[in-house]
Each structure stands twice: as C-alpha cells, then as structure tokens.
Amino acid sequence: MTTVNPNHAEFKTQDAASYNPVAQSFDRFVTQLSAPVAARLVALAGLAPDNHVLDVGAGTGIVALRAVAEMGPSGRVVGIDLSDGMLEVARQNARGRGLADRVEFRKMDAESLDCKDGSFDAVVSLFALRHFPHPETALQEMHRVLRPGGRLVLAVGSGAPWLSLVGLVHRLKLLPHVVRRFQGKQLVACKFLDGMVAAYVPSSGKSEEAGWTHEHTHMQQSVPAFIRAAGFQNIRSEWQGQQSIINTPEEFWELQTTFSSLSRKRLATVSSEVVARVRQDFMNTCREVLSRGGELVYPTGALLVSGRRA
C-alpha cells in the first residue's frame, strides 16, 4: 500500500532521481512498447509543418522526436522533464537522428513552466500526468502556454472503458488470457513484480506515486474533468491498448524494474542481497510458468484525451 507524502518538492526530486539509473533501458522498452500510442497522440495533435510544440514529461523523447520528425524544417519542439538521466538520453536520441537543431530538451517542472503565455501551438504529454502531485496546476500551466485555439493531447495509463465498443472488444479478446491466468499459465506485469516486491520490502512511507491517483482511480472520468476545469474546450477521449508477450524472465524483470514506480523505488532502498533474493524468487516463478507452457505478458492501456484552448 502506497502512502501519500505531503512534501511534494521531495516527491518530485525522488521521482526524477528514480529514473536516472534506468533511462537507457526505459528508452529501449518505450521504443518497443509505446510506439503505437505515441503515433496516435501525435496524430491527434493535428500538427502543421511550422508548429511549435511542447512535450510535458518528455522522458527519453519518444513523442517529441516523433512530432518534430513529422513537421517541416521550421517545426520546433521543446521537451521538458525533471530527470537529468532521461533528458540526457533524449538529447542523445535527438543528436543521433539529426534533429537536435529543431528539438530542445530542458529541465523544467510541469507545474511551473518557464515558458511565455501563448507560446505553443500544441502541448502533448504521454504517461506523465500521474507523476504530477497537482495535475490541475500542470494543466493550468499547459493552458497558459498554449496560444488561443491551440490543442492539448495527453495520455494516461488506464484500463479499457466498460461502456464502449473498443472496451467491449478488448475485454472479449482478453477472455482466453483470463482463463490462462487462472490455470497458472500467465504472469502479468507490473502486478506480478509489484506484489512480490511489496511482500519482501515494506513501504518506507515515501510516496511511490502522486497521491491523487489513489483518490481518482477512474481516469476516464477524472482526467477529462481536470482538463475541463483548466479551461479547455472540445474535449474528446479515446482508448487504445495491447498485450505484449515478453520472451524471457530476464527481460520481464528488467521491464518491470524500469516501468513500475513501486518496484523501481522500493528496490532502490534495499541492499543488493535483498534485491538478489527477490530476483531469484521472480526468476523461479517465471521459469515454472514457462515450463507449464505459460507466458509472460505486459499489458498496456492508454486513455488519450484532447482539448482546445478557446
């Protein structure tokens, strides 16, 4: 169980620091697993060739680099993040793709943007809102820096909506997976590692996630409501998800210790002997499941919400 830490400055510093050692593996997994949602997010932004775009919580740059590559030579992107490690990998990626003159990665807090009013045509943000202790402040900032008529598109991790065709189809497709899970033939990230880590390493009392995510578990309602409250109009939502099969227990471990805030942060607080014990238990369980003909699964689900500044 995660506890809520009232010291948000400390929370932000620790959250950013927790990404530094995993930035390279984060980049590798994001490239493998987040390309479809990043592509959809950029498509929803409806960018013109000369737009100026802000990517909030840019990480290693998957969205920022896609956006700048899709625009013309005068298109510009600023990606902001608080993690030095993530920013460094993002800058390397920009240089490696010959895009460094049109995309800039800056260290900045989403809740206090050092950007002029009305200076962007579009603001995008993938899988970052859940990290901000005050999402309403971050969204007001995104609204402030957008020009009138500018577009916001953000995505948060979320289960499939129950009352929609896409949600229904997704859940029907999941049925064989649920059967396999009950037969002990499927392990699902990041619940699998999080459960194991929570058993070995009790919470230190420090927040692993921003407190509001525990009060607002229904992202399909709360995120559009936050966006409306920040002053955006024409709000639209859609959902997309996929199940990825991970080939080896080693890859499954690295993926979850990279992507799960709980596991990443708790394992960083204990000795290497404890980490080795958790890893051994993890590997043994994965191998047992695979020997029964089972599979290691990483499900992703993203709620994409867009809005326009009046």
Ligand X SMILES: C[S@@+](CC[C@H](N)C(=O)[O-])C[C@H]1O[C@@H](n2cnc3c(N)ncnc32)[C@H](O)[C@@H]1O
Backbone phi, then psi, for 55, in 5-degree steps? -110, 115
Contact residues for 3 (Cβ-Cβ < 8 A; gap 6+): 203, 205, 206, 207
Q: Is 113 in the site for ligand X (CB under 6 A)?
A: no
Task: With H, G, I as helix, E, B as strand and everything else as coil, classify residue 196.
Answer: helix
Given the rule CB under 6 A, which of 78-86, 114-122, 216-224, 240-248 is the region that contacts ligand X?
78-86
Q: Is 141 in the site for ligand X (CB under 6 A)?
A: no
**How far is it, in rounded angstroms, from Cα 282 to Cα 279?**
5
Q: Is 34 in the site for ligand X (CB under 6 A)?
A: yes
Closer CB to ligand X, 126 or 152, in the complex: 126
Among 47, 65, 81, 289, binds ligand X (CB under 6 A): 81
Q: Which amino acid is at 221?
A: Q
CB of 239 to ligand X, least distance (A): 16
CB of 20 to ligand X, least distance (A): 9
Among 52, 76, 102, 131, binds ligand X (CB under 6 A): 131
Q: Is 29 in the site for ligand X (CB under 6 A)?
A: no
Contact residues for 17 (Cβ-Cβ < 8 A; gap 6+): 83
How many amino acids of this chain bind ligand X (CB under 6 A)?
24
Closer CB to ligand X, 45 or 128, in the complex: 128
Closer CB to ligand X, 259 or 289, in the complex: 259
Picking from 32, 30, 39, the residue whose alpha carbon sits closest to that of residue 259 is: 30
H, E, C per residue of 147-172: EEEEEEEEEEECCCCCCCHHHHHHHH
Q: Is 161 in the site for ligand X (CB under 6 A)?
A: no
Backbone phi, then psi, for 6, in 5-degree steps? -70, -15
Structure tokens at 100: 């460094």
**How far is it, in rounded angstroms, from Cα 118 to Cα 49?**
18
Backbone phi, then psi, for 197, in 5-degree steps? -65, -40
Q: Is 208 in the site for ligand X (CB under 6 A)?
A: no
Structure tokens at 307: 């809005």
Backbone phi, then psi, for 308, in 5-degree steps? -130, 140
Among 2, 12, 256, 289, binds ligand X (CB under 6 A): 12
Closer CB to ligand X, 16 or 197, in the complex: 16
Closer CB to ligand X, 20 or 203, in the complex: 20
Backbone phi, then psi, for 301, in 5-degree steps? -145, 130
CB of 181 to ligand X, least distance (A): 25
**How far is it, in rounded angstroms, from Cα 11 to Cα 17?**
10
Q: Is 135 in the site for ligand X (CB under 6 A)?
A: no
Closer CB to ligand X, 87 or 286, in the complex: 87
Q: Is 305 in the site for ligand X (CB under 6 A)?
A: no
Residues 49-68 that bind ligand X (CB under 6 A): 57-59, 62-63
Q: Does residue 118 contact residue 52 with C-beta atoms inside 8 Å? A: no
Residue nearest to ligand X (CB): 59
Closer CB to ligand X, 23 or 286, in the complex: 23
Closer CB to ligand X, 124 or 197, in the complex: 124
Q: Give the residues lining the site for ligand X (CB under 6 A).
A: 12, 15-16, 19, 30, 34, 57-59, 62-63, 80-83, 86, 109-111, 126-128, 131-132
